[in-house]
A = this chain, B = another copy of it.
Amino acid sequence: MNFEFSSRVPKSDSDPVGDILKVAGKPGIISFAGGLPAPELFPIAGVKKAAEEVMDEDGAAALQYGSAKGVGKLIDTVVQRSKRDGVVTDADHVMISTGSQQAIDLTGKMFVDPGDTVIIERPTYLCAVDVFRSYGAHFVGVDMDDDGMRMDQLEQAIIDNPNTKVIYTVPNFQNPTGRTMSVERRKQMVQIAEKYNVMILEDNPYGAIRFTGENIPAVKSFDKTGHVIYMSTFSKILAPGIRVGWIVAGPQLIKKFTFMKQSADVHTDNFVQFVVAKFFAENDVEAHIKKISAMYVKRKDVMINAMKKYFPSDVKFSNPDGGMFLWVEVPGDVNTQAMFDECIKNNVAFVPGEPFYANNAPSGRFRLNFSNTPEDQIEIGIKRLASAIRKFQEVNA
């Protein structure tokens, strides 16, 4: 039958990124494509113990319906954790979400009417584009440099698009580039948002996974007027299979978020909220995060060194201070989707650059993930990738 879908549903059934990840997941392929944390470091024993204790101590409460806003103990955990990003807050400012993806979804639903402008970094997190698009967003991309989103372009974009509702940014170790926004830019961004009365959605999934340098205060930490919606997640510091994230915003806004969340899924799984709160109460999470960072920086360094060794010298790549991704730029008019097909023949995979742009994607870009591949495999994978790039460049020369 022919379904009469709403305007929010993409006409096409094609899912290029889904197809890429499917191919990349085949046995024998060294995949830098996905965005998976290293499962070797999942705190399985700690989660098991926390789950046992939750069932022993709070079983009936954890299995009963809960509040849309979230479990009190977990909200307290979030309030405590927020301090490290300079976000001074309290329970009235926090809502638990079903992963941070839901925070993007609810923000899109609550602020974006069809035709409204959402400003994104060029490139940006591809699933954010999908969500905002489903609410009819018009996208305006702002270029980045090594200090993150360019503030001159941002202000001009808002002037050119007075119907701008949301600026979406991943300020720390951005997906896909690995870049981090400077503290100066963060302050400017807040000033611009206030000046033009636009919301900033600050998405910070990776901030805790820092390899070098000092922690930079969140954009939210400079917000005096309530224009910044801060969101983060336990995905990267605990485990992504546990779908628990959070929002920090003004109490008035948290009320609206909570009402809209109730319609979306009543509340986030109560059992896992209790488990995460218990896990934080009983474990040295900062030590655990240090372990994760130590493993990822080693993998990142192996990747950087292998790229230096094997890549053609005109290929550029970022060298992030944290997170899980880096960004590669191949010179010339290179179709990285076609290059992907060549690489698959060499049993190595990445994500081509195009899906990270809402429109007008430049050629020759792709994303590499370094968190999910052991060091020895990274060297082999980069070697394969290098020879595929060379071969592809020859064929297309």
Binding site for B on A (CB under 8 A): 1, 3-10, 13, 15, 34-37, 39, 42, 44-45, 47-48, 51-52, 55-56, 59-66, 98-99, 101-102, 105, 109-113, 116, 127, 130-131, 134-135, 165, 197, 199, 225-227, 239-244, 250, 252-253, 255-256, 259-260, 262-272, 275
A240 to B62, CA, bound (A): 9
Name the residue in A39, A99, A243 with the highest tally of chain B Cβ atoms < 10 Å from its Cβ: A243
Q: Which residue of B has the minimal Cβ distance to A15?
A: B259
Number of copies: 2
Q: How far is the CB of A231 from chain B (nearest CB, A)?
A: 13
Known: A44-B55, A61-B241; 18 extra A-B contacts, CB below 8 A, are A1-B227, A4-B111, A4-B165, A6-B135, A8-B260, A9-B256, A9-B260, A10-B259, A47-B63, A48-B59, A51-B52, A51-B55, A63-B242, A98-B243, A99-B265, A105-B264, A127-B263, A243-B266
Q: How far is the CB of A397 from chain B (nearest CB, A)?
A: 38
Q: Which residue of B has the minimal Cβ distance to A6?
A: B113
A331 to B101, CA, bound (A): 48
The one of B116, B199, B265 that contacts A105, using a Cβ cutoff of 8 Å? B265
With contacts A6-B113, A105-B263, A260-B9 taken as known, whether A42 is within 8 angstroms of B56 at the C-beta atoms is no
Name the residue in A51, A61, A253 with the highest tally of chain B Cβ atoms < 10 Å from its Cβ: A51
- Chain B residues near A135: list those with CB within 8 A: 6
- Chain B residues near A239: list those with CB within 8 A: 63-64, 271
A66 touches B253 (CB 8 A): no
A265 touches B98 (CB 8 A): yes
With contacts A9-B110, A47-B55, A51-B48 taken as known, whether A62 is within 8 angstroms of B241 at the C-beta atoms is yes
Closest 9 CB pairs of A and B: A241-B270, A44-B59, A63-B239, A48-B55, A39-B60, A51-B51, A63-B241, A42-B63, A98-B265
B260 touches A134 (CB 8 A): yes
The one of B113, B130, B271 that contacts A272, using a Cβ cutoff of 8 Å? B271
A63 touches B51 (CB 8 A): no
With contacts A47-B55, A269-B241, A269-B243 taken as known, whether A130 is within 8 angstroms of B263 at the C-beta atoms is yes
The one of B13, B52, B102 that contacts A264, using a Cβ cutoff of 8 Å? B102
A241 touches B66 (CB 8 A): yes
Q: How far is the CB of A252 from chain B (nearest CB, A)?
A: 8
Some 13 contacts from A to B, beta carbons below 8 A apart, are A3-B252, A6-B111, A9-B260, A39-B63, A42-B60, A47-B59, A47-B271, A48-B55, A127-B266, A131-B263, A241-B271, A243-B265, A243-B266
